Amino acid sequence: MIVGLYRAGDSRLHRAGPGRKLLALILGGTLLLAISSLWLAALGVLMVLALYGLAGFGPRILWAQLRPIAFVLAILFLAQLWLATPAEAVLVVLRFAALVLAAGLVTLTTRTSDLVAAIERGLSPLSRLGLDVAKISLAISLAIRFIPAIGQIAGEVREAQLARGRRPSPLTLVVPVIVRLLKMADEITDAIDARS
Amino acid sequence: MSTRDIVLVALFAALMAALGAFPPLMIPAIAVPITAQSMGPMLAGGILGAKRGALSMLLFVLLVAVGLPLLSGGRGGLGIFAGPTAGFIFGWIAAAAVTGYLVERFWTSLNFVTAFLAATVGGIVVLYGIGIPWISLVGGVPLATAATGSAAFIPGDLVKAGLAAAAILMVKRAYPMIRPAHGRP
């Protein structure tokens, strides 16, 4: 199984329902985008930081959320500094920091399975419009099961090629893996159809 | 959607995740990491066709959103979608749809040139056409600035479009998934 980004804990944030957390995130994010005051944006960042404290997360986890966008954010900061005002530049950085940290906090405090269940519950009213929620659930659980299997198949193909004295290149690896997957799809389909 | 379609959609979402686990190639001269993952939408669309290809990318985006670290470099979670480059993630869905649509159109006479064209239009033109305005809009910078910052990735993406085109052709010969003309699967 692949390990999700969830960090176990017993804080109030961990215990809150995923639907409520998502709703709070959407409301908070909309609010952040609507304000143009530097001080309110800074207040937003401080509030999110306080929530990280409440959830029991330290600076290392905090930085791990920001690191992936740090580079783009630095470029945006410089561009704003050059094109607009220093205040605008700081506002953009604060806004993104607050948004990304808040969204990351929902991921850190909510199990993947709980989020999937929340999505399925959220979609279920749409089943009257012809949306097959059971099929969506099936697709999600199949994909999660397939991810480790594909790594294994790629390893087997690579070994087979090395055994035949061929050096695997990206192309000679990816094509046999895909063909194996397509053949696998038929077997899996038969297995699922036979059970239902 | 038949059971087989769902299985295929799930398999290509998982393949996308496997591509993200490939170590990125660093090109020192331009300091831009080249990841195998952006080949995923081209492959999904070009092999499964527009509808199933786009759905597999939608499923992959959903898996990232529910907290699985499947983006190259082990990134994932909702934070990704709040960042300035989220357009490049959402754009994968349209990239697969357009690549798939073009490959379906060219299907009976598909060759390297037309497959490369499909992968380039879908996986580069459409993807950047969503990703660059997104940065500009949410980051409050002019389009030209956002475009300049993204241009460094284009040479690597062209190489990937070439690889994807070759793979699409080889898979078509070995195990064709798209049926020509009327009555697509």
pLDDT tens-digit map of A62-71: 999 998 888 8
Asked if residue B70 is part of any domain, the answer here is: yes
Q: Alpha-carbon distance A159 to B90, whole Å?
A: 35
Q: Looking at the structure, do residues A165 and A97 belong to the same domain, yes or no?
A: no
Q: Looking at the structure, do residues A114 and A184 belong to the same domain, yes or no?
A: no
Q: Alpha-carbon distance B21 to B28, whole Å?
A: 21
Q: Alpha-carbon distance B127 to B54, whole Å?
A: 13
What 3-state class would DSSP assign to B184? coil
Domain of B95? Answer: 3-174
Contacting residues for A48 by C-beta, under 8 A, at least 6 apart: A98, A101, A102, A105
Count Cα neighbours of A75 within 13 Å in the Cβ-side half-sphere.
16
Residue A4 has pLDDT above 90, yes or no: no
Query: What are the CB-based long-range contacts (under 8 Å, 24+) for B144-149?
Result: B145/A79, B145/A83, B149/A72, B149/A75
**Partner A, chain B 49-88, Cβ-Cβ below 8 Å:** 55, 59-60, 62-63, 65-70, 73, 75-85
Asked if residue A4 is part of any domain, the answer here is: no
Q: Looking at the structure, do residues A32 and A108 belong to the same domain, yes or no?
A: yes
Q: Alpha-carbon distance B67 to A115, whole Å?
A: 8
As a whole-number percent, the residues of chain A with pLDDT over 90 amount to 61
- The chain A residue lying nearest B23, using CA atoms, is A170
Asked if residue A1 is part of any domain, the answer here is: no
Q: Looking at the structure, do residues A72 and A154 belong to the same domain, yes or no?
A: no
Asked if residue B179 is part of any domain, the answer here is: no
Q: What pLDDT sits at residue A98?
A: 94
Q: How many CB atoms are closer than 10 A to CB B128?
A: 21
C-beta separation of A12 from A54 below 8 A? yes
C-beta separation of B85 from B92 below 8 A? no
Q: Looking at the structure, do residues A150 and A99 belong to the same domain, yes or no?
A: no
Number of domains in chain A: 2
Return the structure tokens found at B118: 């499909």
CA dihedral for B7, B10, B14, B16, sign (positive or negative)? positive
User: Which residue type does B44 have?
Assistant: A
Asked if residue B7 is part of any domain, the answer here is: yes
Asked if residue A3 is part of any domain, the answer here is: no
Q: Looking at the structure, do residues A24 and A44 belong to the same domain, yes or no?
A: yes
pLDDT tens-digit map of A133-177: 989 999 999 999 999 899 889 888 888 888 988 877 777 888 999
Q: What pLDDT sits at residue B73?
A: 83
Asked if residue B183 is part of any domain, the answer here is: no
Please determine, for the modelled complex, whether the ipTM score is greater than 0.85.
yes
> Which residue has tokens 């506002």?
A91
Q: What pLDDT sits at residue A166?
A: 81
A183 with B175: Cβ contact below 8 A: yes
Chain B: give the shortest CA distance to residue A153, in Å.
Answer: 10
A106 φ/ψ angles, rounded to the nearest 5 degrees: -60, -45
A192 with B10: Cβ contact below 8 A: no
Chain A: give the shortest CA distance to residue B111, in Å.
Answer: 16
For the domain that residue B82 is a member of, what is the CATH number? 1.10.1760.20
C-beta separation of B67 from A4 below 8 A? yes
Domain of A171? Answer: 132-195
Q: Looking at the structure, do residues A112 and A159 belong to the same domain, yes or no?
A: no
Q: Which helix (H) or strand (E) holds B54?
A: helix B50-65
Asked if residue B61 is part of any domain, the answer here is: yes
Q: Looking at the structure, do residues A99 and A31 belong to the same domain, yes or no?
A: yes
- Interchain CB contacts (distance < 8 Å): A and B: 183
> What pTM, to 2 d.p., does this model score?
0.91
Q: Looking at the structure, do residues A94 and A151 belong to the same domain, yes or no?
A: no
Q: How many CB atoms are closer than 10 A to CB A146?
A: 24
Q: Alpha-carbon distance A101 to A137, whole Å?
A: 28
Residue A113 has pLDDT above 70, yes or no: yes
Q: What pLDDT sits at residue B26?
A: 64
Q: What pLDDT sits at residue A3?
A: 78
Asked if residue B143 is part of any domain, the answer here is: yes
Number of domains in chain B: 1
Q: Looking at the structure, do residues A92 and A173 belong to the same domain, yes or no?
A: no
Q: Which residues of chain B have pLDDT under 50?
A: 183-185
Q: What pLDDT sits at residue B181?
A: 53
- Residue B31 zone, left/alpha/beta (φ > 0; ψ -120 to 50; rest): left
Q: Which of A89, A105, A124 is the last residue of a domain?
A: A124
Q: Looking at the structure, do residues A38 and A61 belong to the same domain, yes or no?
A: yes
Q: Looking at the structure, do residues A28 and A87 belong to the same domain, yes or no?
A: yes
Q: Is B15 exposed, middle or buried (0-12, 13-18, 19+ CB in 10 A)?
A: buried
A179 with B171: Cβ contact below 8 A: yes
> Which residue has tokens 């029991």?
A56
Asked if residue B185 is part of any domain, the answer here is: no
CA-closest candidate to residue B127, choices B107, B104, B147, B106? B147
